Amino acid sequence: MQIYRRLSMIKAISFDLDDTLYNNRPVMLAIEKKMECYFVEKFAILLPKLLSEPKLVFNRRFWAPYRQQAIKAHQDISHDVVRLRFETYRLGLLAHNLSFDEATKEAQAGLDYFIHLRSDFTVPKASHELLASLSKVFPLVAISNGNVDTKALGLHHYFQHIYHAGFQTSEGNNESEYLLKQKPAADMFTLVCEQLAIPAEQLLHVGDCGVADIHGALNAGCQTAWLPQYGVGKKLRQIPHIELAQVSDLSQLLP
């Protein structure tokens, strides 16, 4: 553990998920290949003529125009990766002459398959052991811009709250929709502190991205632990409180 700023009192710890508690890059690379195959099979049934086009691959490049179309048409949808993916698939299918009902149905089926794949891997034992130990001392929460299913990963029970960026439905008789913006926006950090009833400076946020996690948490008034172990997060804009070589270094915070 490298210390850059003196840590003050910590009343709770928040964790980013992807590339913090596990290496997400190989998971996503494998998923991309599986999704390409999935849509080849789908289009072979739904739009066989499309497959006659040379070198057509249903990868990010294929879906990119429809993703941009969705972002242009729907304000703030980029903060909700689940809704954005669904709308990207739906617009792409509509553009290739599927009916509205067919495109909606197949977009949902593609999204469901993606979400299944998204959480179909094993979290390292070291992360489980750390969370189990820390949860006995600190309230833990998860703050993610992504859509991984913590229940499927066996992580859910360690956290008092789990926040995913995107559109949320308020509870109560008058249900309404509100938006939690992605980090580095302060939305999720602020909500964590409100629900745990602690000042922001007593929350330690742990994450891999120098912008979303460290810059975002510092701007929200929190303490920060940077974990660049997997080498995928963006570079630092601000100096964190501590740097971790591996997530298990946090065990040094235990009494």
**Model pLDDT for residues 190-212, shown as the tens digit of each residue:** 999 999 999 999 999 999 999 99
Would you put residue 163 in left (φ > 0), alpha (ψ -120 to 50) or beta?
beta
Query: Would the pLDDT of 138 be above 70?
Result: yes
Query: Would the pLDDT of 140 be above 80?
Result: yes
pLDDT interval class at 54 (50, 70, 90): low
Count of CB atoms situated within 10 Å of the CB of 5: 12
Q: What is the dihedral sign for C-alpha 122, 26, 151, 15?
A: positive
pLDDT interval class at 57 (50, 70, 90): confident
Is 16 marked active-site? yes
DSSP state of 22: B
Query: Would the pLDDT of 55 be above 80?
Result: no
In the prediction, which pLDDT does 211 show?
97
Q: Give the active site residue among 16, 18, 80, 213.
A: 16
**Model pLDDT for residues 111-131, shown as the tens digit of each residue:** 999 999 999 999 999 999 999
Query: Would the pLDDT of 50 be above 80?
Result: no
Among candidates 37, 95, 89, which has minimal Cα distance to 63?
89
Q: For domain 2-22+123-253, is the CATH number 3.40.50.1000? A: yes
Question: What is the β-pairing status of strands 166-169 and 177-180?
Answer: antiparallel
| Domain boundaries 26-118, corresponding CATH code | 1.20.120.1600
Query: In whole angstroms, how far apart are CA 65 and each of 11, 88, 151, 214?
Result: 45, 8, 33, 31
Domain with CATH 1.20.120.1600 in the chain: 26-118
Domain with CATH 3.40.50.1000 in the chain: 2-22+123-253
Query: Would the pLDDT of 168 be above 70?
Result: yes
Asked if residue 135 lies in contact with residue 158, where contact means CB atoms within 8 angstroms, the answer is yes
pLDDT interval class at 176 (50, 70, 90): confident
CA 41 distance to own-chain centroid: 28
Query: Would the pLDDT of 51 be above 80?
Result: no
In the prediction, which pLDDT does 49 show?
72
In the prediction, which pLDDT does 48 show?
74
Query: Would the pLDDT of 182 be above 90?
Result: yes
Query: Would the pLDDT of 174 be above 70?
Result: no
> Which residues, other chains included, contact 129 with Cβ-Cβ below 8 Å and sequence gap of 6+?
248
